[in-house]
Amino acid sequence: MRRQLGVLLAVAGMLLGGSAYAGFSTDDILRQLKPQEREKLKAGEIVTVSRPEQESNDAGLAIGLVLIVPADLKKTLTTLQSLNVSNDPALRRITREIKEPVRGDGSSKMFAAVGFAGDEGSEVKKMLAARPGEDFNFSEEELSWVRAAGSGGDTAQSAANVMRRVLASRYLAYQKGGLDGMPTYAREGNRVTKPGAELAASAEAMSTLRKREPDFYEAYRHYPKAKGQGVQHQFYWEKKTVEGRPMFSLRHELVQVKPDAALIGSREYYINNQLNGLQVAILLLPYGAQTMAALVNETYTDKVAGAGRFVAVHVGRGIVESNTKPLFEKLQKALGRARPAAH
């Protein structure tokens, strides 16, 4: 049975779920923290909030990240955006912006750097032997490309060519139909997973975002039919190592800036293994002369209930730990720790 793993970063979850966003203050965020967490935050630490009681059921895992940096809203936003697209050798992370026309066969130069390293041979062999199931996220059509490539000579090059084609075709599908136009993932027993439907349902559940920030919500849920007034859009492909495996993904970033807040949405609408998709929203709010950042993250995977749930939770937490927390750590390193007398 397919279930949803919602990694809701609890501190900001109320912003996008059931509590009013308009007029929301940093005091409201602080009230969501335990006294010791508030003290750590004000002392300049990055606060990770984990509520074990929210991990005890199949509905999801709640985690929160919050920090304060000694910079104004504009500088914090600019720094955060630059860090989120930088390469990271430690994570073997490569990020490339897609900003030129793309051909569906994968031959566009935008995807020329997609490939496998010499020590990733086992992943190459595993991919070229892929069948409907949980190991890889491919449609039936994409699996036919995999089978054809598996009969070739240079396996690493063949696998890279297939991955380029998959990324290019899914990028074009998203540009044409958004979440509603995303191809499914083929599973065993003629089942399919619908990553677009899962991410769309997640967006639709953000009722306060829809009411209080309709332009951002419309773009977040209905791109490309709606692009949102004042919402900026950028697109990337990325390769990173997660749980020892190379992971390729396609990412859509949305940014809306207002005088008293900034909202960043980052959606990995295609991930080739381990997770179905990943959505992140970061809210930046002025905190005196400084800025408070709170993060919301939702992850979807088939392996949530029963014996597979530990794997799903572990991978979901691994994504947060390997991707999101280091982003906040780099932000703090770039801008400094919060000043104690901040507010």
**Residues 106-147 pLDDT 10s:** 999 999 999 999 999 999 999 999 999 989 999 999 999 999
Q: Which ranges of 178-308 does DSSP label H, i.e. alpha helix?
A: 195-204, 207-212, 214-222
Residues sharing a CB contact under 8 Å with residue 136, sequence separation 6 or more, in sequence order: 127, 130, 272, 273
Q: What is the pLDDT of residue 308?
A: 39
Nearest to 3 by CA among 53, 57, 63, 56: 57
> What one-character-per-residue DSSP string does 51-107 give?
-GGGGSSTTEEEEEEEEEESS-HHHHHHHHHHHHTS-BGGGTBEEEE--S---TTS-
Residues sharing a CB contact under 8 Å with residue 90, sequence separation 6 or more, in sequence order: none
**Residues 49-102 pLDDT 10s:** 765 444 433 333 334 789 999 999 999 999 988 887 666 666 678 999 999 999
Q: Would you list the domain boundaries of the chain?
A: 6-115+194-335
Residue corresponding to tokens 């599908």: 173
Structural domain 6-115+194-335, CATH architecture: 2-Layer Sandwich (3.30)
The span from the CA of 336 to the CA of 329, in Å, is 10
Please give the DSSP secondary-structure letter assigned to residue 243: T
**Half-sphere exposure of residue 143, counting CA atoms within 13 Å on the CB side?**
18
Asked if residue 278 lies in contact with residue 319, where contact means CB atoms within 8 angstroms, the answer is yes
Pairing status of strand 60-69 against strand 185-186: unpaired
Please give the DSSP secondary-structure letter assigned to residue 272: S
Residue 42, pLDDT above cutoff 60: yes
Q: What is the pLDDT of residue 51?
A: 52
Residue type, 292: M
The pLDDT confidence band at residue 9, using thresholds 50, 70 and 90, is very low
